[in-house]
A and B are shown apart, each in its own frame.
Chain A
Amino acid sequence: MTSKKYILPLLALLTLAGCEKPFDQLEQDPNRPTSAPASLVFNGVVNDMYSVAGGGGWNDSQRYNQFYASNYNYYATNDYAWTTTGLNYTTLKNVVKMEEEAKKAGLPDVNAYSALGKFFRAYFFENMTRRVGDIPMTEALQGLSNATPKYNAQKDVYVQILSWLDGANTDLTSLIAKNDNNLSGDIYFGNSLSKWQKAVNTYKLRVLINLSRKESDTDLNIKSRFAEVVGNPTKFPIMASMDDNLQYVYNSQFNKYNRNPDNFGGNATRENMAATYLGTLTSLKDPRTYVVAEPATALVAAGTKPTDFAAFVGASSGEDLATMADKANKGQYSFQNRKHYYSTYTAEPYLIISYPELQFNIAEAINRGWVAGNAETYYQNGIKASWGFYGITEGANSVYFSADGGYRNVNTYTVDVNFAGYYAQPAVKYAGSSTGLTQILTQKYLAFAQNSGLEAFYNQRRTGVPTFLIGPGTGNSQRIPLRWQYPATERSYNTANNTAAVSSQYGGNDDINAQMWLLK
């Protein structure tokens, strides 16, 4: 185009606008950075962690856990009509970027971000594999260099997860020893690496307990790994109290608890307590009943004492929604405790990895004979910690139920709490062996209420405790599904590997009712 030689100078004369930048620089986006401090990327990852853990109470996960039920078709049903699931590779990509940014900023190879990066890998890969089964791991996260990553067997994923957790612990140990203070942007532990270290090891015990059906697998060595952690608190510090919880604390301006004064009219009577949860609480005469729920108004009107456990009724998640809606409308079911959940913006923190869970996990491991110790002590600690979470104290407790169906006017009742008395009930008193195991699992279930994402579901899937209720309301031809389908993009864009994984695990049909390796 020789003509351009003459035209362009002429055009320059006519141009109304100046050209501030060379032509070749205009392709770049001037509005967003190509690089960011590791602390900001870290902040993104820890926020993702909260979302992946269910994103707070009263979300879908907690319906699948059968802690509550929706009686309102329009917003939600109790149907387990699961299809495909989302995965967490994009978060893991950010974990990789976080590590890159930390290195770019001059941090050594082993640094706070890289150490926690190992933990995040373990956490998100476990979350994914528990949902679907085999997943790409060794060939994953390579961007364009491998657009069709092969799947790793679920067992290999777990072997790797445990190795990452060991690595994270080792790295954190050395960083803590060096008083490393490079971490920032931490919304959970105020940048305390030693708290993170406890969370990592506590989490490791969760992973191991989740593998209970594989306790004899010699590659995984679950029992000895569990024993190693419990037996060596110096090398593997674990959470020692509720102060060590990895939890999301709500605030009234920017991060409100999912149930608060803003959505009272939208949700309060459209969600009632589920029988699986509330029925267990009342059968044990558990004082947590009074904190999380309110008596059914119809029963109170008919003369039942508001603090009588008989006044607290949850609906079966399997109940046909038309029936549940009608009964809830007539006040025949218990709703969530309105003062506790609706009178503030902060309600209760959201537990992601918690001390009570840890206590029950250790109790379970002892019960299973993985580690020596007194299961009952851990079992009791777990219950007490959970009671503490709900503010239940020994002796007289004030409990609050709505006086008029709202959250502003409440009636105060005093109930007497006596742990010893509670514990003395045969259903509660640790009985050891398989009954004891069920008791531990039941109490763990109760401690998971409205917390920790799908942990309650996964424990139930693994152990059958508690019995989930089914019916027309739960759909799926009266089955509780065992997994999600792989994302449609895997089927369409990683076809050969996905097909191979589905056929090796599930006989060729990516079915939500099929059983993964973990459960066999």
Chain B
Amino acid sequence: MTLSFRSSPPENWIRLLIAGLLFCFGTLSALAQTITGRVTSADDQQPLPGVSILVKGSTVGTTTREDGSYSLNVNNPSGATLTFSFIGYNSQEAAVGSRSVINVALRAGTANLSEVVVTALGIKKDIRQTGVAIQTVDGNQLLKAREPNPINSLTGKVAGLTIGGSAELLGRPNISLRGNSDVLFVVDGIPITSDTWNISADDIDTYTVLKGASASALYGFRGKNGAILITTKRGTKDKRGFSVEVNTSQMFDQGFLAIPKVQDEYGPGDHGVYAFGDGKGNGLNDGDYDIWGPALNGQLIPQYDSPVMVGQSFTTKFPNGATFTSNRQPTPFLPRGKDNLSRFIQTGILSNNNIAVGTSGEKYDMRFSTSYNYQGGLVPNTKLNVVNFNITGGYTFSPKLRFDASMNYNRQFTPNFPDVSYGPNSLIYNIIAWGGADWNIDDMKQIWQPGKEGTQQIYAEYQRYNNPWFLAKNWLRGHYNNNLYGYTSLKYQLTNNLQLTAKTQLTTYNLLRTEKFPYSATTYGREEARGDYREDRRNLFDNINQVLLQYNKTISRDLTINALAGGEARVFNYNSDYASTNYLNVPGVYNFANSSNPVIANNFTADMRVLSAYYSADFTFRDFLTLTTTGRLDKLSTLPKGNNAYFYPSVALSTVISDYVKLPASLGISFLKVRASYANVKDGLTQSTIGATPGASFPLSYGDNYASSYGGPTYQNSAVYSLPLLYNNKPGAYFTNTLNNPNLKPNSTSQTELGLDIRFLNNRLALDAAYYVSNDGPRIFTLPSSEATGYTGRLVNGIMTQKKGGEISLTGKAIRSNSGFNWDVVANYSTFTERLKEVYPEGGINTIASNYFVGSSSGNRFINVGDRTDGFYSGAFVRTPDGQYINDAGGRPIANPVAQFLGYVNPKFVWGINNRFSYKNLTFSFQFDGRVGGVIGDYVRQKTFQGGRNIETIQGALGTARVNDVQGVKSYVGTGVVLTSGQLNYDVNGNVLNYGELRYGPNTTATYAQDYVARIYGQAESFLMDRSFVKLREVIIGYSLPTRLTSRFGVRQASVSLVGRNLLYFAQYKDIDLDQYLTGGISGLQTPTTRRYGINLNLTF
């Protein structure tokens, strides 16, 4: 790579660009000075990266780079003072005067800790004065062992933030911040509506997690559940006026981390019988089959590719007595497709390339960054391209007036990404769950039947399943998303103490998703197999206009005030269309005009406006006690008139005890801060994501109903008709089943928190702990009602839950040696429990169905006030009082007609440990993280058992019985008892009422393994698994090339890293990767997850 700007300094073209951006504001003048320098540790003279440098009394600042160097643009340098601060080191100040180079050596470890964090609205504050829970992660540390989605990289890095990274292309990461999933993302102060795929990791300077309501209360209703603030990189302060940085990372997926284990000894069929007739039911079990067929032992069986001999007749007799006659000549039944899945799946590729150009001059700084990320999926013919272009700049007109602007354009595009949800669209469904080893995946590369190219796929079955190669090449789903967010801001220093900012910010996307469903593909409800074409178009526009007045004043020696007041108006528009053909006339022409039946079309539009005013005031007493109060008033158009304006207060207190209490030296405490906060936040009738056809059913009920980022009105408080198409495609009208409520008030959450920041041994060991109590509610919810009212529910304010939780984050510099060997440890731990406190006291109601909180839990089992909210109720078996199965006369356990309690879904705790070692130019780091506790139904296990493909169906007693199944002999004798007298009588919760009347004998009735498995795996009790897992998340070995070596090539800095992600995984069953399942009682299907290896190269020119 060669880059040069030999001819002239780049100022000219940059100026041009700035001029373009700023609508030609006058000439550039010179009143600022660029200060450069290097910060080292006074103890060992090693460079200190990440030291924060701040122009005293302002928010202007920077941090040092990897090599400890920095550069900073300072207005009025003669009177300015720079503050250098770093965790574990004494802060140091330096007056600038006439200097342009300031080198500083920081001395480690006294009680004087100074650290700056970003708080709500992007306001930077000294950690000493912060009374809320905030944790920061350095963006550069997440650039090496990459994830396709930047947020996935935060896994295990922040206490209280659980990321359920999805390994799927375009999979939205599941986020749980203190148990809340709907978290606000803010980039450089702009709240964005995002699934996080439009954020480029390369542009991120820091991630700041505002954990609680009190930290993010200033964001109003969007910050209700906390926020993740992303601060992007700014223009360089390199003394040449520019720098170029290139970061490239190439990673490959190799080896499965989680994949279901399957048997290859039996083929498709039922009770050992299978014969191909036409693959649609005209043979024996040849359509929509299970894998409970004959042994793949070479016996002669008519198969899909057996020759058809016209005029001849062949009869196949099965060991159990069944026979089949046709003109298809039987051929040996063999495990031709033993490794179909691994032979089908390809090496995934993740390639990230970024080039960033930074520049700065006396009055401006700019950064341009372009990233291209390419992801090649495991599934053939799937990919994802993400292009990101970011430009950020600032211009200082005068010491009083500064302009800043940033724009991020992001385009995600792919002609095909896989649909992994359960169904004939899924490869796992077709190859693992319901496909046998009787056909060879390589034979399926010839997709079309000869003479029927483009209209009829070739496969071993034609009723329900699809040829995987046909799926990959012809059932195509496109995704094209143009995303833009940015802001412009003008800051004016009215007086020494008063600053006015006007900012306008924008986030917008337009999305097109297409689905080409080819002729001869089948899925649920589309068995005519005549193809479809579908388009999903969505547009979002979200604009916030903000005015902010900031006031900073040292009133007296004892009191400093930092205050701000602001107002904003937000305008939100969303509209979408979804249209689908209803079968195609001409194969392969994906156009609505080609629809066989009338096109099915839906559209949706939503407008919202929010008017807000807010303030924040910090009162700092003698530098050791800070009281912060904030307040925000929102008027939100989604709420009913009269209740649509509401106020969010918060108050926080922090005090650095070690500043005024002499702690015994023997304790080794170098810093001790305690904090307390309280906040109340509200929201209402908005939702974070939206589907394709809001308020209407999803057309033709197949395919993924994509949830895109939204944040707009739900319109659930409207008394309206829905108009589905009914008989003969004519609409009918149904009035809402949920009563609206003109007196609805917003949701409310109050959170109280206590925190402790304690550091030992000259700040080498830092522990941050938080304990919070969050009272969530009363919220807006649909209170189910007696259906006899005519309505299944009504919208009310109710349901109060209480969450109690804690977080501990431990940061240690375990070793700092003079030889240059360092060892850093970061450990995170978090836990919470949520209980139901009230449901609807007004109506005397204190119970709610368990599926209100836990997806796939039973709607017939209720939890009561005082119970944990995460109880999972699902299918189970009736047992004797001593716990044995009660079998029916067929020798199979009797399922309880009512769902039973199976466990809690939330983990007991979540943890992560990251170790980083460095020695001179070498670094080595690795991270383990995981969750402990909780249960989940393993859906893949259930389906592979039911389908007869799970390896355990040929092992042990089941395996022995399977041999006999095929012979037509029942031989599996299940455990437990059988009733010898009495009948089971239950109460409404499935409790047996008459144990006293029941008499038992041992179960001696043999049945088929197939039927026993069918009964057992019909109930979640049998495929429940422990939700605990441990992952070796990442390993990075890094090497910084010596400067003297790189400089010969014009490279100022170069580092190369070998990285690995998701290398080890420990869990009870490895059918699924538990990572992505943060909530819900039962897992889904998913693409197997793999280990990822790669190399990262970072060059700075």
| A residues at B contact (CB < 8 Å) | 1, 3-4, 7-8, 10-12, 14-17, 19-21, 23-24, 26-37, 40-41, 43-47, 72-74, 81-84, 87, 89-90, 92-94, 96-97, 135-136, 139-144, 146-149, 185, 187, 251, 253-255, 261-266, 268-269, 301, 320-323, 325-326, 329-331, 404-406, 408, 471-473, 475, 477-479, 485, 487-494, 497, 509-511, 513
On whether the beta carbons of B788 and A494 are closer than 8 Å, the reply is yes
9 residue pairs from A and B, CB less than 8 Å apart: A15-B569, A31-B715, A89-B789, A144-B739, A265-B287, A266-B287, A269-B281, A269-B284, A330-B968
Complex: A489 Cα to B852 Cα, angstroms = 13
Instruction: Among A33, A46, A143, A487, point to the contact of B790 (Cβ < 8 A).
Output: A143
B residues 940-986 with Cβ under 8 Å of A?
Answer: 946, 968, 970, 979, 982-986
A395 to B438: give the CA distance in the assembly, Å. Answer: 50
Question: Which of B54-62, B1007-1015, B1083-1091 forms part of the interface with chain A?
Answer: B1007-1015
| Nearest B residue (CB) for A15 | B545
Minimal beta-carbon separation of B267 from chain A (angstroms): 15
Tell me which residues across on chain A come within 8 A of B900, comparing CB atoms: none
Q: Which of A143, A147, A323, A509: most chain B Cβ within 10 A? A: A147
Q: Would you call B790 and A492 a contact (CB within 8 A)?
A: no
Could you tell me if A142 and B637 are in contact, using CB atoms closer than 8 angstroms?
Answer: no
Task: Give which listed residue, B573, B790, B892, B983, contacts A322 with CB less than 8 A.
Answer: B892
Closest to B731 in A: A40
What's the least CB distance linking B130 to chain A, in Å?
A: 26
CA of A97 to CA of B732 in the docked complex: distance in angstroms? 13
Complexed CA–CA distance, A47 and B273 (Å): 41
Tell whether A322 pairs with B1011 under 8 Å between CB atoms, given A330-B321, A489-B792, A490-B787: yes
- Judging by beta carbons under 8 Å apart, are B790 and A34 in contact? no
Is residue B689 contacting chain A, with contact meaning CB distance below 8 A? no
B662 within 8 Å of A (CB atoms):
no
Instruction: Flag if B323 contacts A301 (CB, 8 Å).
Output: yes
Q: Which residues of B contact A29 (CB under 8 A)?
A: 695, 713, 715, 718, 720
The segment from B154-162, B173-181, B601-609 that touches chain A is B601-609
Is B1007's CB under 8 angstroms from A41's CB? Answer: no
Q: Is A83 touching B897 in the complex (CB atoms < 8 A)?
A: yes
Which residues in A have their C-beta under 8 angstroms from that of B735?
Answer: 36, 41, 93-94, 97
**Are the CB atoms of A263 and B567 closer together than 8 Å?**
no
Which residues of the partner chain A approach B35 to less than 8 Å between Cβ atoms? none
Contact B733 A14 (CB under 8 A): no
What would 11 more interface pairs be, CB under 8 Å, given A147-B794, A321-B1011, A325-B1008? A23-B611, A32-B720, A33-B723, A44-B733, A83-B898, A87-B787, A266-B464, A320-B890, A488-B862, A489-B785, A509-B987
**Which of B288, B730, B1010 makes the CB contact (< 8 A) with A43?**
B730
| Residue numbers in A under 8 Å from B322 (CB-CB) | 329-331
From residue A359, how far is it (CB to closest CB) to chain B in Å? 28
Please give me the 8 A-B residue pairs with the lowest Cβ-Cβ distance, nearest first.
A265-B287, A265-B281, A265-B463, A320-B890, A93-B790, A477-B983, A262-B527, A44-B732
Contact of B320 among A4, A326, A494 (CB under 8 A): A326
Question: Which one of B502, B573, B728, B790 lies within 8 Å of A254 (CB-CB)?
Answer: B728
B281 touches A262 (CB 8 A): no
Contact B983 A479 (CB under 8 A): yes
- The answer to whether A94 touches B979, judged by C-beta atoms less than 8 angstroms apart, is no
Chain A nearest Cβ from B984, distance in angstroms: 5
Name the residue of chain B whose CB is nearest to the CB of A498: B786
Q: A20 — which chain B residues lie within 8 A by C-beta? A: 607
Flag if A265 contacts B279 (CB, 8 Å).
yes
Residues of chain B lying within 8 A (CB to CB) of residue A144: 739, 789, 794
Beta-carbon contact of A404 and B728 below 8 Å? no
* Cα distance A473–B968 in the bound complex, in angstroms: 19
Smallest beta-carbon distance A281→chain B, Å: 25
* Contacting residues of chain B (739-792) with chain A, CB-CB under 8 angstroms: 739, 783-792
CA distance A148 to B845 in the complex (A): 12
Contact between A31 and B788 (Cβ–Cβ < 8 Å)? Answer: no
Contacts of B970 in A (CB 8 A): 322
Contacts of B573 in A (CB 8 A): 17
Taking a contact as CB atoms closer than 8 A, the residue among A12, A24, A266 that contacts B281 in the complex is A266
Contact A141 B789 (CB under 8 A): yes
Q: Are B791 and A90 in contact (CB under 8 A)?
A: yes
Q: Which residue of A lies closest to B463 (CB)?
A: A265
Provide the bound-state CA to CA distance between A326 and B644, in Å.
65
B609-635: contact bitstring with A at CB < 8 Å (1 yes, 0 no)?
101010000000000000000000101
Nearest-neighbour CB distance to chain B for A128, whole angstroms, equals 9
Residues of chain B in range 511-561 having any CB-CB distance to chain A below 8 Å: 527-528, 541, 543, 545-547
Which B residues are CB-close (under 8 A) to A479?
983
Q: Are A269 and B788 in contact (CB under 8 A)?
A: no
Residues from chain A with Cβ under 8 Å of B597 in the complex: 253-254
Interface size on B, residues (CB 8 A): 131
Q: Mark B453-473, 1 if CB is under 8 A from A, else 0.
A: 000000000111000000000
Residues on B with C-beta less than 8 A from A406 are: 277-278, 281-282
Known: A11-B568, A135-B788, A322-B1011. A43 touches B732 (CB 8 A): yes
Is A490 in contact with B786, judged by CB distance below 8 angstroms?
yes
Residue B426 interfacial (CB < 8 Å): no
On chain A, the residues within 8 Å of B993 by CB distance are 509
Q: Which residues of A contact B986 (CB under 8 A)?
A: 511
Contact in complex: B983, A3 (CB < 8 Å): no
Min CB distance, A136 to chain B, in Å?
4
Complex Cα–Cα for A31 and B577 (A) = 12
Residues 271 to 320 of chain B near chain A (Cβ within 8 Å): 271, 273, 277-288, 290, 320
Q: Are A488 and B569 in contact (CB under 8 A)?
A: no
**Given A21-B607, A47-B732, A81-B897: A1 and B719 interface contact (C-beta under 8 Å):** no
B640 at interface (Cβ–Cβ under 8 A)?
yes
A74 to B608, CA, bound (A): 47
Q: A73-B1014, A264-B463 given as contacts; is B788 within 8 A of A27 (CB)?
A: no
Known: A87-B787, A269-B281, A321-B890. A147 touches B270 (CB 8 A): no
Smallest beta-carbon distance B862→chain A, Å: 5
Nearest to B321 among chain A residues (CB) is A330
Whether B199 sits at the interface, judged by CB under 8 Å, is no
* B847 CB contact (under 8 Å) in A12, A330, A492: A492
Contact B464 A265 (CB under 8 A): yes
Q: How far is the CB of B882 from the nearest CB of chain A, in Å? A: 20
Given contacts A32-B723, A142-B790, contact A254 B729 (CB under 8 A): yes
Instruction: Specify which chain A residues have a CB less than 8 angstroms from the CB of B604 in the assembled complex.
Output: 31
Which chain B residue lies CB-closest to A146?
B789
Asked whether A7 lies within 8 Å of B502 as measured between CB atoms, the reply is no
| Docked CA distance A272–B363 (Å) | 85
- C-beta contact mask, B786-816 vs A, less than 8 Å → 1, else 0? 1111111010000000000000000000000
Which chain A residue lies CB-closest to B270? A329
Q: Is the CB of B323 within 8 A of A17?
A: no
Question: B1011 to A40, Cβ gap below 8 A?
Answer: no
Q: In chain A, what residue has the closest Cβ to B730? A: A43
A23, A81, A135 pick with most chain B CB within 10 angstroms: A23
Is the pair B788, A140 in contact by a Cβ cutoff of 8 Å?
yes
The answer to whether A405 touches B277, judged by C-beta atoms less than 8 angstroms apart, is: yes
Known contacts A81-B895, A254-B597, A4 near B988 by CB under 8 Å: no
Q: Decide if B726 touches A330 in the complex (CB within 8 Å).
A: no
Q: Determine if B860 is an interface residue (Cβ-Cβ < 8 Å).
A: yes
Looking at the complex, which one of A4, A492, A510, A511 makes contact with B613 (CB distance below 8 Å)? A4
Within 8 A of A (CB), among B1003-1035: 1007-1008, 1010-1012, 1014-1015, 1018
**Chain B positions within 8 Å of A492 at CB level:** 784, 845, 847-849, 862
Q: Complex: how many Å from CA A189 to CA B785? A: 35
Whether a CB of chain A sits under 8 angstroms from the CB of B401 is no
Q: Which of B504, B713, B789 has the most chain A CB atoms closer than 10 A to its own CB?
A: B789
Contacts of B790 in A (CB 8 A): 89-90, 92-93, 96, 140-143
Closest to A266 in B: B288
B1018: which of A1, A73, A140, A329 is its contact (CB, 8 Å)? A73
Q: How far is the CB of A449 from chain B (nearest CB, A)?
A: 23
